[in-house]
A and B are shown apart, each in its own frame.
Chain A
């Protein structure tokens, strides 16, 4: 791509300066996206990301405040865009869009947009963003759909804007197909604002640094990150390490995920051969999401401080047989893919913990929990909304797991006061769940208990994200399991994978799982045990069997 034959080089100072500015410009775009977004998913839960890639779609920098899944998926989506829209067919002012679950993030609500950035008549970069739309139509988000067609509107790779002109047909179809047209479109325009901002800042940066394109800079960034990642992997002993676990799956049929992680020299291969097949429910985890979750787990253990970009991922490859639940094929639904996907970093820990036990933790009370609602609000207008609730983190070699923290995702909980404004529901409590942390030298973090009541005179359809109701978060190094989660409607345990309809006065109670313990509980210090007792974190030593009654 470089015009001249000479490759531009960057010394240790210049590279640092340019890198800082790139990070700062994506962070600025992310801040603008949060501030202009309409849905609680972006603004309260940070369910989005922003990235700048080079002209080949290879990521250079990503926003600091993001969630791990999009860090892995977003650059891949940009590469897919380039396959659908070859560079020479792009014009300044084009904005590309898709929510295809295989090209995107594994479920339809995540809308990805990208904008080619031109200098002197040619594409030098892309700015891109993924954000979770408040609604994408279809059956309300739950594990029930049998095929992706039930899950809402599919947007194949298209141009949302063509040379700066919005495709009104596409916008009209979008508006017609979602329950919350103003919010969904509002968020989409907030994403476009972020793309514009990245473009504008990148032009200023390239002008000041006298960069005709980003090819040489990208190569340098990628080379260094790749070398650092390879160095970190090479420091680990070669071998194949295996780990497997069972998830609640479809209640009557648990799902087994198997991972064989091979360290060979400076590469890692994560092989999911032997994992159960895809199912006709929306918990299938598309390969893009699988990839992101594996990368996240590896990075936490090997090189947590490494910047996120293409170079860091190159030494890691994934093998997942087509048709297994971590590489499902069309038209498998994937709306609730995190119910499989959030287990994957735990599996990576299961493997790498065999060589670096000090860098992993016991299992977390994740996948994250959520409650999706759809009905009429107090004003009688249709509303759709999602609440997220988190479980406890696992204990680790340094200390207790943190209570109620989003992991591996990073989705915060919406304020109760905000939730009660949006939804015709009343929270009776939202509090820590005593005795839910797995005992250990370092105890697992606590989950939480939530009790909600419908005040709506009209029915509210609800569905859930709820896992670990059967298989709890396991302890490690002699630590014990956390308490499994419990979901009840009107006091009765219900199948969390189904959809329910609430009438006025109906209650929902959710108890999120606690984290697993780390180390032998008998080694717990007296001071820590006294603290637990005084605070009521631990109230009953009789344990697991009784506490879920």
Chain B
């Protein structure tokens, strides 16, 4: 048999998810294995062997492997990266440490700022200077730079970030330094700011470059090990990596710029949302993932997750903006909220009901786990409201102490002056509001309205909460795809190859040099095409997007505008103004417009990325109705006797009416009264609110 199957491996902090997909008929087999943090490839290979056994599949039939990992993000968070040095313009070796000079919390005297990735003795000066237009004001002293690097290498530095002032406007000095250093110290990993993040503002550019240097040696070893392990397991297919931008790339590109992989796991999750959304016939999807501690939201427009041009890594306070390291890399835009099944409910100092962001996590976990948790959590309230089934918790794999949970809930309700049911639903309602609030802001920041979106629920807790979150947002449709636990791996297998490139372009629209813009785009396109085509993607079906960061002259924030096919001042102005109005309502009178950067994205479908999905063991049964239980629906005035279905047994094409409960091992999908429900061909359940 030809090697026609695709394998997806998503290595997270706790679990490694694996899936094998046959793109010819959409058949998919999934497996979950514990992650082995000392050598993550070991757990992956163990899981792979079990998955092959489960599916009766020969390793020789795997034609390609797609991989996402949180390994590099964890290295940043835990500060377990390579011994990294920095070479920067003389006078600016403290930029990484002086940072933004701004508090992320106004009233906290005991702030903890993120430590710089490179300690002060390893931040060395190069004698050189460029002006803001890129002109050379002081030529690089190559010999002096080599002497600095020599000291670093002697001190044990294995990876070097090179970031010179204004290098976004002219890469000359960074390249000269890199060439000389590479000749003298061939074993040293090099990261150049002008290649990784050629954008104005020295602090985020330096952080991005240093972050790449910090993970690069780890990435090289890790990817080599994984490739060898896959070969050793008899898999002939090549390895592809999931990038933070939601696209795939080959191993060489991943080794060159591993900073692009920091958010590969979450990006895969957003892609899964995009894929299932597209298959449910939905143009705009709010992918909603909720686990034990956090919820994540991603917007998907016309099948593509929205991509932001930077994100904050390794925050010292997880949910506080400004407490992390700004990394300027195209990244699927994810909003992370401290809301999960383990989120703890408390009486605030003002006597209101607070839920999260503190979480009981897995230990001690919710009160109902009976592992010593005493403060009620979201899961405890979901249990009390009938959303979760004490007798079928995690598919019956776990026994639950509903009585203990109920006592803890009653006690909290008493302290808040609420009756027991109001208290329990209050927890559900407040945590839903926290998520809906974040979604409202994210959607509004794009000039859209929530009603345009459908909610797509993945992860253990999202299907339990999606119906009521949707109600808060005024969303009419909620989709729950099958195999919640393996959703992100499926997303990777459907992902295209994609590369994003950026170039600084500081020109006014009124007197822009279009030939220069075209030359820059051509250069970006050549670079992006080379990488994408090397992945073996279907180049005949590639999609090339030209975008520009633009603003009114004098503004400091840019908006990213999709440029029209033919570049002219009138057409570009119209595109910019339309985008600006959509975001901010009005355009300022009489202001001039300028470019700041040009961006280019090339994507092309991967062979073997399936158009179909048929999860093993789905849709086969005939005894879908398992029974009835009382479930709390506030619109129906309280508890309603609700049918409970076995998710796996529901035949494709089934239609039902709400209320209904759909149980599967990893989660429970709750649908309220008056909903129209349909089981779609890929096994997703679509629930529509009726007017």
Are B98 and A44 in contact (CB-based, < 8 A)?
Answer: no
Contacts of A92 in B (CB 8 A): none
Please report the C-alpha to C-alpha distance between residue A360 and residue B107 in the assembled complex, in whole angstroms.
Answer: 11
Contact of B429 (CB < 8 Å), options: A17, A185, A225, A398: A17
Surface stretch bound by B, among A149-157, A278-286, A413-421, A481-489: A413-421
Within 8 A of A (CB), among B170-217: 200-203
Are A197 and B585 in contact (CB-based, < 8 A)?
Answer: yes
28 pairs of residues in contact across A and B, judged by CB atoms under 8 Å = A11-B417, A13-B352, A17-B430, A17-B433, A24-B438, A24-B440, A31-B445, A32-B584, A36-B555, A37-B555, A38-B588, A193-B586, A224-B350, A299-B107, A304-B107, A304-B108, A398-B110, A412-B101, A413-B101, A420-B166, A421-B132, A426-B137, A427-B91, A430-B95, A431-B91, A534-B121, A536-B121, A537-B120
Given the known interface contacts A407-B103, A430-B91, the answer about A402 and B584 at a Cβ–Cβ threshold of 8 Å is no
Contacts of A15 in B (CB 8 A): 352
Nearest B residue (CB) for A361: B109
Please report the C-alpha to C-alpha distance between residue A413 and residue B203 in the assembled complex, in whole angstroms.
Answer: 11
Nearest B residue (CB) for A391: B101
Are A410 and B103 in contact (CB-based, < 8 A)?
Answer: yes
A43 at the interface (CB under 8 A from B): yes
Are B109 and A360 in contact (CB-based, < 8 A)?
Answer: yes
Query: When each residue 394-429 of chain B gets 1 if its CB lies under 8 Å from chain A and 0 otherwise, what string results?
Result: 000000000000000000000011100011011001
Are A415 and B584 in contact (CB-based, < 8 A)?
Answer: no
A8 at the interface (CB under 8 A from B): no
Are A535 and B119 in contact (CB-based, < 8 A)?
Answer: yes
Q: A448 to nearest B CB, angstroms? A: 6
Please report the C-alpha to C-alpha distance between residue A32 and residue B584 in the assembled complex, in whole angstroms.
Answer: 7
Contacts of B97 in A (CB 8 A): 403, 432
B131 at the interface (CB under 8 A from A): yes
Q: B657 to nearest A CB, angstroms? A: 26
B353 at the interface (CB under 8 A from A): yes
Q: B103 to nearest A CB, angstroms? A: 5
Please report the C-alpha to C-alpha distance between residue A359 and residue B121 in the assembled complex, in whole angstroms.
Answer: 33
Contacts of A396 in B (CB 8 A): 109-110
Please report the C-alpha to C-alpha distance between residue A328 and residue B113 in the assembled complex, in whole angstroms.
Answer: 38
Please report the C-alpha to C-alpha distance between residue A361 and residue B448 in the assembled complex, in whole angstroms.
Answer: 45
Contacts of B95 in A (CB 8 A): 416, 430
Nearest A residue (CB) for B558: A35
Given the known interface contacts A12-B351, A24-B437, A406-B103, the answer about A193 and B110 at a Cβ–Cβ threshold of 8 Å is no
Please report the C-alpha to C-alpha distance between residue A42 and residue B557 in the assembled complex, in whole angstroms.
Answer: 11
Within 8 A of A (CB), among B507-566: 552-557, 559
Within 8 A of B (CB), among A395-452: 396, 398-399, 402-407, 410-413, 415-418, 420-421, 426-432, 448, 451
Are A410 and B203 in contact (CB-based, < 8 A)?
Answer: no
What is the interface of chain B, defined by CB distance below 8 A to chain A? 90-95, 97-103, 106-111, 113, 119-121, 131-132, 137, 165-166, 168, 200-203, 347-354, 416-418, 422-423, 425-426, 429-430, 433-434, 437-438, 440-441, 444-445, 506, 552-557, 559, 583-586, 588-591
Are A536 and B101 in contact (CB-based, < 8 A)?
Answer: no
Query: When each residue 186-229 of chain A gets 1 if its CB lies under 8 Å from chain B and 0 otherwise, what string results?
Result: 10011001001100000000000000000000000000110010
Q: Could you list 16 further interchain pairs (A-B, Cβ under 8 angstroms) beyond the known A306-B349, A406-B101, A535-B120?
A: A12-B426, A13-B426, A16-B348, A20-B433, A24-B440, A38-B588, A40-B556, A180-B554, A189-B589, A389-B101, A402-B111, A404-B98, A411-B102, A412-B101, A417-B168, A430-B91
Contact of B418 (CB < 8 Å), options: A13, A38, A66, A431: A13
Query: When each residue 340-360 of chain A gets 1 if its CB lies under 8 Å from chain B and 0 otherwise, what string results?
Result: 000000000000000000011
How many pairs, one residue from A and one from B, have CB atoms within 8 Å of each other in the complex? 215
Within 8 A of B (CB), among A292-331: 299-300, 303-307
Are A404 and B101 in contact (CB-based, < 8 A)?
Answer: yes
Contact of B202 (CB < 8 Å), options: A299, A410, A415: A415
Contact of B441 (CB < 8 Å), options: A31, A303, A410: A31
Given the known interface contacts A412-B100, A431-B91, the answer about A12 and B554 at a Cβ–Cβ threshold of 8 Å is no
Count of A interface residues, CB-CB < 8 Å: 85
Are A418 and B200 in contact (CB-based, < 8 A)?
Answer: yes
Contacts of B552 in A (CB 8 A): 38, 186
Are B590 and A182 in contact (CB-based, < 8 A)?
Answer: yes
Please report the C-alpha to C-alpha distance between residue A15 and residue B347 in the assembled complex, in whole angstroms.
Answer: 12
Are A410 and B102 in contact (CB-based, < 8 A)?
Answer: yes
Contacts of A536 in B (CB 8 A): 120-121
Please report the C-alpha to C-alpha distance between residue A429 and residue B92 in the assembled complex, in whole angstroms.
Answer: 6
Please report the C-alpha to C-alpha distance between residue A451 and residue B554 in the assembled complex, in whole angstroms.
Answer: 25
Are B132 and A417 in contact (CB-based, < 8 A)?
Answer: yes
Contacts of B352 in A (CB 8 A): 12-13, 15-16, 19, 224
Please report the C-alpha to C-alpha distance between residue A228 and residue B350 in the assembled complex, in whole angstroms.
Answer: 7
Are A300 and B107 in contact (CB-based, < 8 A)?
Answer: yes
Contacts of A421 in B (CB 8 A): 132, 200, 506
Q: B379 to nearest A CB, angstroms? A: 18
Contacts of A407 in B (CB 8 A): 103
Please report the C-alpha to C-alpha distance between residue A415 and residue B110 in the assembled complex, in whole angstroms.
Answer: 26
Contact of A24 (CB < 8 Å), options: B100, B137, B441: B441
A27 at the interface (CB under 8 A from B): yes
Contacts of B168 in A (CB 8 A): 417
A75 at the interface (CB under 8 A from B): no
A502 at the interface (CB under 8 A from B): no
Are B98 and A432 in contact (CB-based, < 8 A)?
Answer: yes
Q: A348 to nearest B CB, angstroms? A: 12
A68 at the interface (CB under 8 A from B): yes
Q: B173 to nearest A CB, angstroms? A: 15
Given the known interface contacts A360-B109, A410-B106, A535-B119, the answer about A403 and B201 at a Cβ–Cβ threshold of 8 Å is no
